Each structure stands twice: as C-alpha cells, then as structure tokens.
Amino acid sequence: MADQTYAADKHPPRGGTTGGSPRGGNHGGPLRGGGIGIGWRPAIAGAVGGLPGLRFCEVIAESLSGGDRVPVALPRGVAELRGRGVAVVPHGVRLSLGGAEPLDPVRVTHLAACAAAFEAPLVSEHVAFVRAGGREAGHLLPLPRSRAALDVLSAHVRSVQAELDVPLALEPIAALFDWPDDEYTEGEFLTALLERTGAMLLLDVANVYANAVNRGADPEALFDAIPLDRVAYVHVAGGAEHAADPGVYHDTHTDPVPPAVLALLERLRERLDVAPAVMLERDGRYPPAATLRAELDAIAAAAALPSATLAGAATLPGAAA
C-alpha cells in the first residue's frame, strides 16, 4: 500500500507563490492525493480506528509526553493507524509562534520529536499567540496584523522550520476580535508570511467562516486574497452562536458542522486544482460513532473526496467532481 502512504518531503522551495496560479494545489503538497482525515482524540479512538477509508489524522502534539531525551510515546490507537498507512500529523497548539517573547526551545524540540516519531509528512501550528507577560491565555489569540507582528512571527516560524525535517503548515485562527491598528488585511498578512517563510497553509474553513461572520465580511473573499496553491490541508469544525453572545459565531469544535461551513468547503474545493486533504476537528461533547461517520461523509461529499467510512476509494454518491 505504499502508493497510499503520504510522502515525507523536505521543505518545499520558498516563495513558490510568486507568479503562481491563483488556483490552488498544483503541487499536491505533502499530503498529496488528498483524502479525509480527522483529529485523533482519545475519547473517539474507537470510532476513528473503525474508519477504513481514513487517509490521515492529526494529533495534538502537546497531548503527548516525551520529546527531549525520552522518546515520544505514541498512543496505541495512533500507532495502529500509522501501521495501516494512515499519515499522522503533529498539530502544535502552544508554541505561541506569534508571541513577542522568545520561543520555548523545549516545546520546539518536542514538536520535532513528534514529527520524527510519527514519520509525519508535515507538522502544523497556528498564526496566533497563547501567552504573554507570564500568563497563559488558555486559547489561541489573534495577532495584530502589523509589521512588528509579521517580523516576530516570521522569525519564529523560520527557527521552528530549522528544527524540522518536514514542512510546516500554518493555520490562521478564528478570532473573536481584531486589534485596533491593523496595517495589513488578513490576506496580505498571510501572503507575506508564507512568502517570507516558505511555510504551507493549513486552511480552516470553519475559521474563515467564523471570521467572516464576526467581521461582517464575505468568507470567499479570503480565498481570493491568499495563495491557495500553498494549502497543505484543510480543517473543518463545528460551531454555533451562544445565547450570551447573539450574532457572534463561536468555532467551538463541540457542535455539529453547520451547512454554511460545508457550503464554504464546496466553494474552496471548486478553486483547488487537485483533491485536497480535509479533516474534521472535534474537541468535546463527542457524538456517537454513527453521527461522526455521517459528518465525515458530509465533508467528503462537499470536498468531492472518497468516503472515510468505506473501504477502498469509493467516491460518495452526489459528490461533485
């Protein structure tokens, strides 16, 4: 099944977007061939292990022990998936790449050790900061889209890349607020970041949707403003409005994926030249396995990908190519 195992490439050439096609995915990327994935979590290990068509999964790097001198311990369920040829992508959530304070070298080493332990085709982190002034925020916080933030973030990304043998993909977050003095649009900021660092893009369509709703903007406009040929893979997640905050969409990861997010995934798919790798993130209030499978099939249909719930490469009925 070597043809179904994603290649572990070295860094792609930098500055690949200059003069490139406005459509995305011409290179294929480290998860080339695409397919459906899921964020592996212990609470849904059984359901995830029972997905015959799963192509990749993501594991929260900070949830794994080991890294410096002790080997990273792979959860049993992840090791089984890896043995089946399912690619495993370490996903960091606490590096604080956009924090103005120095990176914690222990965290960087740990992320690199996770990539080595998984033989991961790539690693991902966020365009965000999570701590400052000695305090943990407990969540991913937005950066000012300023020259200073771009400089800090780019420098941190480059120093993480130097520790990795595989590409790094960066995920723009869902922000509940913006900084008051942005100098760049989100599209300009992300484009400059990817050009400066050669990093790839982890595009979360639920984040794009959340930001557009909460800023009163058109979600598809961002697709026109960023280099879609840098997309390594795509996140999809659920969310909802909360009774306490009417009119604000929360990217909760604990609610079902709304139809509007699936529709945005369809719009994205239409702009990509090759089949993308698309995964569901669920982080609590886990539904029964059957509900999870139905949600994965809805994502596969929207992205015109083979189902993760069926063995082989059957494309779901109704999936638009």
Partner 1 sequence: MTRELRGASPRVARSGTASPASRDTTSASVHARPDPTADLAARQAELVAALVAGAPDPAGFDRDRLAVARRALVRKRAGEVAAVWPLLAASLGSRWHDTVAAHVNGRAPAGALRDGWQLARDLGRCGELSDAAAVELAEREVTLHHDGRRRRLPAARRCGGGAVVQIGGRVHQLMLH
Contact range with partner 1 by CB under 8 A, out of 26-34, 110-118, 203-211, 222-230: 222-230
Residue closer to partner 1 (CB basis): 100 or 260: 100
Name residues contacting partner 1, limited to 260-289 (CB under 8 A).
284
Q: Does residue 132 touch partner 1 according to CB under 8 A?
A: yes
Q: Does residue 300 touch partner 1 according to CB under 8 A?
A: no
Q: Cβ of residue 139: shortest distance to partner 1, in angstroms?
A: 6
Residue closer to partner 1 (CB basis): 108 or 149: 149
Q: Does residue 195 touch partner 1 according to CB under 8 A?
A: yes
- Give the one residue of 180, 216, 288, 318 binding partner 1; rule: CB under 8 A: 180
Q: Does residue 63 touch partner 1 according to CB under 8 A?
A: no
Q: Cβ of residue 147: shortest distance to partner 1, in angstroms?
A: 4
Q: Does residue 244 touch partner 1 according to CB under 8 A?
A: yes
Three-point CA angle 296, 314, 205, nearest 5°: 35
Q: Cβ of residue 79: shortest distance to partner 1, in angstroms?
A: 23
Cα–Cα distance, 92 to 114 (Å, whole number): 10
Q: Does residue 66 touch partner 1 according to CB under 8 A?
A: no
- Give the one residue of 165, 188, 220, 273 binding partner 1; rule: CB under 8 A: 188
Q: Does residue 187 touch partner 1 according to CB under 8 A?
A: yes
Contact range with partner 1 by CB under 8 A, out of 27-35, 86-94, 192-200, 255-263: 192-200
- The binding site for partner 1 (CB under 8 A) comprises 17, 99-101, 129, 131-139, 141, 144-152, 176-185, 187-188, 191-192, 195-196, 224-225, 227, 242, 244-245, 248, 250, 254, 284
